[in-house]
Amino acid sequence: MGVSDPDDLEKAVVLNASPRSEPKRGVVLIIADDDELAEGMRIELQAAGFVVHVALSRSEGLRVFRWCGASAVVVDRMADGIDGLMVIETLRGSGDWTPVLAVGEPVSVEERITFFRSGADDYLARPFDLREMTVRLEALLRRCRDSRPPVLGVGAIEMDLVARSVRCMGRRVDLLPREFTLLEYFARRPRQVLSRRQLLDDVWRQKGYASANVVDVQVGHVRRKLDPTGARRFIVNVRGTGFRLDPEGLDSSPGALGER
């Protein structure tokens, strides 16, 4: 991809995703160093209605995932399986349980067990029919939907975690991937005061890189998109502390500032 700046990375991934403006079936991240394989999977999944991001290395894949998120991840074993395992172990080690489908050359039962124990949800041996890959991903996403509600609703805000879409007061809200992740973090902690450092560590996961000003800018973007009129203040500044989500946008408590 050739993008070094995180802000540029997010924009590049969005521009190079499926041309669909709104994911109908979810977002899939493919991490594979085989260009031909990755392109075939991308075409098949886009035809099935998914938005698709492609990364051609382990490090790039993890970077894209952290900045853009995904409903499911397809990981090629890569480099004798070491890179693929590291991707899965990194995700699971951070507490992320996004469904992962591992693909690769036929391996022994012991090697497949290693992948499953590392956190893979399924393993598909090459060569495989791309239609089978799509069906397996659909099955993984169904299991995910069965195990947790696909919609996160707090007050006037409703987030579809599979389609990665947002509605506020019944109105569609178009958010960039980072903005969606930030709002989801707030929505899972309504009325809880969150510090800038907490947001940098848990949302950006770029310790030592991003500054507090990055948080202020992104929060401001989300706040304005939730209600462009300014009539409601869904994310309020808590003087000297951080921010708090008011699910109804009516917060007028002492110390709460609706700065825009």
Q: What is the pLDDT of residue 210?
A: 56
* Residue 126 or 9, more confident: 126
Query: 54-63, 66-75, 89-98: lowest mean pLDDT where?
Result: 89-98
Please state the domain extents for the chain: 6-147, 151-257
- Specify the fold of 6-147: Rossmann fold (3.40.50)
Cβ neighbours around 243 below 10 Å, total: 25
Q: What is the pLDDT of residue 162?
A: 73
Q: What is the pLDDT of residue 70?
A: 86
What is the rounded distance in angstroms from the CA atom of residue 226 to the CA atom of residue 233? 9
Highest average pLDDT, of 182-186, 204-208, 248-252, comes from: 182-186
The pTM of the full predicted model, rounded to 2 decimals, is 0.54
Confidence of residue 73 (pLDDT cuts 50, 70, 90): very high
Q: What percent of the chain has pLDDT over 70?
A: 80
Q: What is the 3-state secondary structure (H, E, C) of the chain?
A: CCCCCHHHHHHHHHHCCCCCCCCCCCEEEEECCCHHHHHHHHHHHHHCCCEEEEECCHHHHHHHHHHHCCCEEEEECCHHHHHHHHHHHHHHHCCCCCCEEEEECCCCHHHHHHHHHHCCCEEEECCCCHHHHHHHHHHHHHHHHHHCCCEEEECCEEEECCCCEEEECCEEECCCHHHHHHHHHHHCCCCCCEEHHHHHHHHHCCCCCCCHHHHHHHHHHHHHHHCCCCCCECEEEECCCEEEECCCCECCCCCEECCC
**What phi, psi does 54 have (nearest 5°)?**
-125, 130
Q: What is the pLDDT of residue 14?
A: 38
pLDDT digits (tens, 9 = 90+) for 5-64: 444 444 334 334 443 334 456 889 999 988 899 999 999 999 999 999 999 998 899 888
Q: What is the pLDDT of residue 20?
A: 37
Q: What is the pLDDT of residue 147?
A: 55
- Specify the fold of 151-257: Arc Repressor Mutant, subunit A (1.10.10)
